[in-house]
């Protein structure tokens, strides 16, 4: 599960849980007393316990096999019965995910991972994108993307219109109120959405911030206007502060909040401009401060995931996302495609009880690219 809890299979007391899919490398040897070769068959007993299924592929050039292990919901008669697998159990938990507007970004992948672990999903969608998103959901255009490991479709309990740039109705300019893209929608400021969620659901356990926007992202920092710079900060970092500020009162103690950042917060990425690198740096700094404040005030953990480049619709606004993906593939320690699901699985771990002592952290999910100080595909190295 990327940077998540799947360091291997180990015995746990059999009890109800759901875990999202994980991928791992394993030798043919027995792991924690359970031979993965046996797991190719679905094993059950009369009490309905399901054991992990391992779908393995052998590679002639290596002594290892690549296995995709799927652990299904489990139940047992007594605590004496044991099953194998480390559970991520989010059943009975409710998650609000801000920033889901299609089915190909990190926000969607996080929603799926949390749903696969049993959480109830609520989303906040940018107001101008709301109609298209809800229409696509209703017409089944996302059905294949909604499919979970157990074959069911991810259910979204409710979709709220949201523009996290505005905290209260009083903050909304007249031109935005009259904008036809906002026509027909109401109660979409951060404060109003938090109040609506409270009225509809009572409380939540998980808050996910998957929002970023820089109107001048294609400009260098020297060319960025004050207005563009502050807009990037407002939409990409302060929006997280505002969300946690308004949702914290309705979050259950022991809950968790996560956001998404990028390596440009600490390394120079030419072309990632308009103040976006500054916004990501602010987001990471705020994560540490909010971890203290929300931890002391509400027993809420706060972390951020520094994800590698993904060719999502939103990322294409940068203008060279495909080159960023190619660069990552060529230079990261793990030379493979970064999947949105890997970020989703890491998020599921971070908001689960397995990460109960993890807060204020930046967790890298980028195939290790953050560790590199030299581009090994540089032409200067070939001379």
Cα–Cα distance between 110 and 210 in angstroms, integer?
9
Dist CA 10 CA 297 (whole Å): 35
Give the closest residue to 264 by CA, choosing from 320, 333, 203, 339: 320
Range 170-176, long-range pairs (CB < 8 A, 24+ positions) = none
Task: Dig out the tokens for 383 from the structure.
Answer: 């001379």
Beta strand extents in the chain (DSSP E only): 11-13, 22-26, 53-58, 65-70, 82-84, 94-98, 120-126, 156-162, 204-209, 251-261, 301-307, 362-365
Chain centroid to CA 85: 22
Catalytic one of 84, 262, 329, 364: 262
Contacts by 46-51 with C-beta closer than 8 Å and gap 24+?
47/75, 47/76, 47/77, 47/81, 48/75, 49/14, 49/74, 49/75, 49/76, 49/81, 49/83, 50/74, 50/83, 51/83, 51/84, 51/85
Q: In the numeric block, which tokens belong to residue 106? A: 């990190």
Q: Single out the catalytic residue among 17, 106, 272, 364.
A: 272
- Residue 288: which of 261, 307, 253 has the closest Cα? 261
Distances 362 to 79, 236, 349 between C-alpha atoms, Å: 36, 16, 14
Cβ–Cβ under 8 Å, residues 143 and 112: no
The answer to whether 262 is a known catalytic residue is: yes
Query: Of 226, 316, 233, which is closest to residue 277 (Cα–Cα)?
Result: 233
272 as an active site residue: the answer is yes
Please say whether the dihedral angle defined by the alpha carbons of residues 92, 96, 102 and 104, taken in this order, is positive or negative: negative
Which H/E stretch holds residue 131? helix 127-138
Both tokens assigned to 298: 């509400």
The set of catalytic residues is 262, 272
């Amino acid at each position: 599960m990327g940077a998540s809890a799947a360091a291997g299979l180990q015995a746990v007391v059999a009890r109800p849980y759901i875990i999202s899919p994980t991928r791992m490398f394993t030798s043919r040897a027995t792991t924690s007393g359970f031979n993965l070769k046996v797991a190719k068959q679905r094993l059950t007993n009369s009490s309905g316990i399901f054991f992990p299924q391992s779908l393995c592929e052998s590679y002639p050039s290596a002594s290892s096999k690549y296995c995709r292990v799927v652990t299904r919901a489990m139940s047992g008669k007594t605590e004496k019965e044991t099953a194998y697998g480390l559970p991520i159990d989010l059943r009975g938990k409710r998650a609000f995910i801000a920033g889901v507007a299609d089915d190909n970004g990190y926000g969607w992948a996080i929603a799926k991972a949390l749903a696969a672990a049993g959480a109830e999903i609520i989303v906040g969608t940018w107001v101008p994108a709301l109609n298209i998103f809800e229409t696509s959901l209703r017409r089944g255009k996302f059905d294949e993307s909604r499919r979970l490991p157990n074959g069911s479709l991810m259910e979204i309990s409710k979709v709220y219109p949201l523009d996290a740039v505005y905290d209260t109705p009083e903050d909304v300019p007249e031109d935005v109120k009259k904008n036809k893209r906002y026509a027909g929608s109401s109660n979409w400021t951060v404060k109003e959405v938090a109040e609506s969620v409270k009225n509809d659901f009572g409380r939540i356990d998980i808050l996910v911030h998957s929002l970023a926007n820089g109107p001048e992202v294609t400009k260098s920092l020297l060319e960025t206007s004050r207005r563009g710079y502050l807009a990037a900060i407002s939409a990409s970092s302060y929006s997280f502060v505002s969300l946690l500020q308004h949702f914290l009162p309705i979050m259950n103690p022991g809950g968790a909040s996560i956001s998404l950042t990028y390596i440009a917060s600490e390394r120079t990425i030419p072309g990632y401009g308009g103040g976006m690198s500054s916004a990501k740096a602010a987001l990471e700094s705020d994560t540490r401060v909010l971890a203290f404040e929300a931890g002391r005030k509400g027993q809420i953990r706060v972390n951020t995931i520094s994800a590698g480049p993904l060719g999502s619709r939103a990322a294409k606004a940068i203008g060279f996302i495909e080159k960023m993906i190619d660069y990552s593939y060529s230079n990261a320690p793990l030379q493979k495609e970064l999947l949105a699901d890997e970020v989703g699985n890491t998020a599921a771990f971070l908001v689960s009880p397995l990460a109960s002592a993890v807060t204020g952290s930046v967790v890298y999910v980028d195939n290790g690219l953050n560790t590199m100080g030299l581009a090994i595909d540089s032409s200067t190295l070939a001379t």
